[in-house]
Structure 1
Amino acid sequence: MLDDQLSVSPDGASVLADCWNGICTWNAATGAVELAPDRNQVAVAPDWSRVATTDGGTVVLEPWESEGSAQVLEGLDDAEVADGSPVTAVAFSPDGRRVAAVGPGAEVLVWSVEGGEVVASLTASYAAEELAFSPDGTLLATAGGGPVEVHDLDTGDSRVLGRGLSPAVAWSPDGRWLAGAGEDGVPVVWSAADGAEVARLPGVRLHDLAFAPDSSTLALTALETTVVRLWEVGEGPTDAGGAEVRELAGHLDEPGAVAFAPDGTTLYSVAAEDGVVAWSLDRGRRESFELPQGPS
């Protein structure tokens, strides 16, 4: 099982992640798993209508459940690589109308999903491993392989926010905060307005993170630990600086991706060996979801 991708459906009824031999979806109520064999994805549309895959230097948008033809987004250099695709990261905008991808030479293209044309082009300072659109879709954050950078898609201007090398970056749903890795990989929260650092969590080397729907809490996983942390970042810089941290224990190995349910009452985390765990935050319960059969 892969631990770097996790998505919750808009209605909160299903959870999606990559498995050994396809894409797995779990029923959020029962934990039962269904496998779509021989399929893969690098990003999921916010409405779950499409999954993005890569084919060389192209990004392919495939219908997830409904009938329909695939859409091919071209323009990135189709460079030869030793293993896999030269595309290192793909992301949908929150409204699902745009798709961004990083290709060779740290080139970043943004396409319109409706027409398939390139609507923005920029160059990051490194080949990013993670992309994240701001809630309004006007800014694009890059992370992994270099510092966290924020790129203005209208002007092309860029701003460096942190020195960490972690491929983890997330915007708060209200657009006020951006979180990622600072120096030495520690989790950091910056003001989206001016890029000022407003909080950090020392003693932790960031793996992945996600904001709660109300923007007040960050769920994060860290390297060399099996716990999931809930970091209460509060309403502003003062509250964020004195944040409370709650630890959730239960994974058998190091968890990776985390994702909140739309109502914020459940947090999901995934680990390579023990799969998806659902944390009921309002009831204090933990449930391990059914795992698919491993490779033969």
Structure 2
Amino acid sequence: MKLVKSKDVSLPMGVLGLTAWADAKRLYAACMDGAIYECDPATGKVTPLPDRHESYASGCVLLPDGKTLISAGYDGCLLWHDLVAKKSIRRVQAHTFWSWRLALSPDGRRVASSTGQYLAGGEKYEPAAAAEPTVKVFDALTGELRQSFDHGPPVTSLAFAPDNRHVAGGNLMGEVRVWDVDAGKVAAEFTTPDFTCWGQIKSPHYCGGIYGLMFPPDGDTLLCCGMGAMADPMAGNGKMRWQRWDWRAAPPKKRDQIRDSDGGTGLMETLAPVPGGGFLMAGRQAQGTWTTAVFAADGKLVASLDTKSRVTQAVFAPDGRKLYLAATVGQPKPVNGKWGDFGRVHVVDVV
């Protein structure tokens, strides 16, 4: 397998979230200007949806009918967009702080959002307790709140299991909880210290966190991604890292993790299933040879690509032959008072 970037779709500002129609012929990108853009990857045409968030748009998901899109933002709101009528139909104030992550259940009936602000809670700079539930699950069709769950802030990753019943959240301190949404309680929890650390140089504080979660198709394991320990929080040079956990075991057990020789340093922000088996991990690198890589089901590195950008989310076409990457490149200098585009959707051929 090889990953070959074939083209870029440019957007005005950095892209933090990405979703696609079932055939992947139309994409939707959540951007830092608060807008959701409809993108045609074949022509490169981008069109903003009429309504937008009051701060960064952090994510978006498309319901199975292909007619309704839900977006989340740093304004703490969830927006429902009618793609046929070209208007927003619902705005829900989900949180008083940012919505970090948005996740849709496989059946499209539930949508979850996570929040949480890192404020020092004591002399050791451990996070203070959140002022509100940090994970909320809503009815994706009506917008009604179905469940609220507490987890240490900030909760920077979310994923639904294939059974539609369980949702997982990971946070700054490497703590993972899996909740049974139907029962309204914790089904499993574990802590992995490999994704967080105490920064000692320039700006002492905790840094890192689990930024991506993914349940493989069997639902019995849970993949986590982020970055390993570093002494300087400003450097961003912890090891690129994924781990796989048996979350159903009692207690949960780590099964395996990325080999040190397979990656460099940097923050890994997203995981995605690969059609036919395996998974993709992507993010931003400090040092190394790739920002995006595909791993086989057994964890072996099989392909990689350096996009020269920060990759925040990935979507495969159903046949696995195309890959779309939400990304941000370095912001160019203004020309005649106008800033250049620095958001991208990378179109990648999988050969």
State the TM bucket, normalised to the shorter chain.
0.7 to 0.9
Report the CA distance shift for 1:142/1:244 in structure 2 as closer, same or farther (over 3 A). Answer: same
- The match for 1:190 among 242, 245, 259 is 245
Asked if the contact 2:103/2:111 (under 8 Å) is kept, the reply is yes
**Is 1:230 aligned with 2:285?**
no
1:142 counterpart SS class = strand
**Is 1:44 aligned with 2:61?**
yes
Number of aligned residues: 268
Once the two structures are superposed, what CA deviation does each residue of 1:115-134 show, in whole Å capped at 9, x if it has no partner? 44433232112231232111
**Is 1:10 aligned with 2:22?**
yes
Once the 2 structures are TM-superposed, how far is the Cα of residue 5 of structure 1 from its aligned partner? Answer: 1.0
Asked if the contact 1:44/1:50 (under 8 Å) is kept, the reply is yes
1:28 counterpart SS class = coil
Distance 1:114 1:19 in 2: 24
Distance 2:39 2:225 in 1: 30
Q: In the alignment, which residue of structure 2 is the partner of 1:62?
A: 81
Report the CA distance shift for 1:188/1:37 in structure 2 as closer, same or farther (over 3 A). Answer: same
- The match for 2:277 among 215, 233, 247 is 215
**Is 1:170 aligned with 2:214?**
yes
Report the CA distance shift for 1:20/1:124 in structure 2 as closer, same or farther (over 3 A). Answer: closer
1:262 counterpart SS class = coil
Say which one has the larger Rg.
2
Q: Structure 1: which 5+ runs fail to align? A: 80-84, 283-296
Distance 1:215 1:176 in 2: 15
**Is 1:150 aligned with 2:163?**
no
**Is 1:271 aligned with 2:327?**
yes
Q: Structure 2: which 5+ runs fail to align? A: 1-12, 117-129, 196-208, 230-239, 330-341
Q: In the alignment, which residue of structure 2 is the partner of 1:139?
A: 166
Distance 2:169 2:189 in 1: 10
Asked if the contact 1:53/1:62 (under 8 Å) is kept, the reply is no
Task: Report the AA paired with residue 16 of structure 1.
Answer: Y
Greater CA drift, 30-39 or 105-114: 30-39
**Is 1:109 aligned with 2:128?**
no
Q: In the alignment, which residue of structure 1 is the partner of 2:104?
A: 92
Once the two structures are superposed, what CA deviation does each residue of 1:128-147 show, in whole Å capped at 9, x if it has no partner? 12321112211111124232
Report the CA distance shift for 1:70/1:124 in structure 2 as closer, same or farther (over 3 A). Answer: same
Report the CA distance shift for 1:254/1:137 in structure 2 as closer, same or farther (over 3 A). Answer: same
Q: In the alignment, which residue of structure 2 is the partner of 1:244?
A: 301
| TM-score normalised according to structure 1 size | 0.76
Once the 2 structures are TM-superposed, how far is the Cα of residue 166 of structure 1 from its aligned partner? Answer: 3.2
Q: Which has the higher contact order (CA 8 A, sep 6+)?
A: 2
**Is 1:120 aligned with 2:147?**
yes
Distance 1:69 1:258 in 2: 25
Distance 1:66 1:3 in 2: 24
Once the 2 structures are TM-superposed, how far is the Cα of residue 268 of structure 1 from its aligned partner? Answer: 1.6
Q: In the alignment, which residue of structure 2 is the partner of 1:179?
A: 223
Once the 2 structures are TM-superposed, how far is the Cα of residue 35 of structure 1 from its aligned partner? Answer: 3.4
Task: Report the AA paired with residue 232 of structure 1.
Answer: F
Distance 2:77 2:312 in 1: 27
Distance 1:60 1:16 in 2: 14
Identify the structure with the greater strand proportion.
2
| TM-score normalised according to structure 2 size | 0.65
Once the two structures are superposed, what CA deviation does each residue of 1:173-217 show, in whole Å capped at 9, x if it has no partner? 442432113754621122354343232113544232212133323
Asked if the contact 2:82/2:88 (under 8 Å) is kept, the reply is yes
Once the two structures are superposed, what CA deviation does each residue of 1:43-63 show, in whole Å capped at 9, x if it has no partner? 223434122345965534232
